[in-house]
Amino acid sequence: MRQVVQLARLLGWWVHHAHISRGGEAGLPDLVMVKAGRPVVYAELKTERGKVTPEQQAVLDLLRTTPSQVFLWRPTDWDEIQRVLGATT
């Protein structure tokens, strides 16, 4: 989480991470990232073995129907994370 947030901010993204989700709607992805001229990026971050809850999957599926970019990222997705955020082309 920390590495993704640091990279995004270094590359000029505004990043929202709800540290405590109590009281909010279940399923919102871990990160919402916004950068001028780019689609909004929603990213759910999991460990290699971490499971997506049914609520999380429902929200990811819903967000995928919008003109934003929606990802489920794991540590092994670091190359994709860098590419999506613009660190590599």
Total of domains in the chain: 1
Domain that holds residue 51: 2-85
* Token pair in block for residue 52: 């997506």
Q: Amino acid letter at 40? A: V
The CATH code of the domain that includes 24 is 3.40.1350.10
27 touches 20 (CB < 8 A): no
Q: What is the pLDDT of residues 7-18, one digit of tens each?
A: 999 999 999 997
Reported as a single tens digit per residue, the pLDDT across 32-80 is 999 999 999 999 999 999 999 999 999 999 999 999 999 999 999 999 9
- Rounded Cα gap, residues 42 and 77, in angstroms: 15
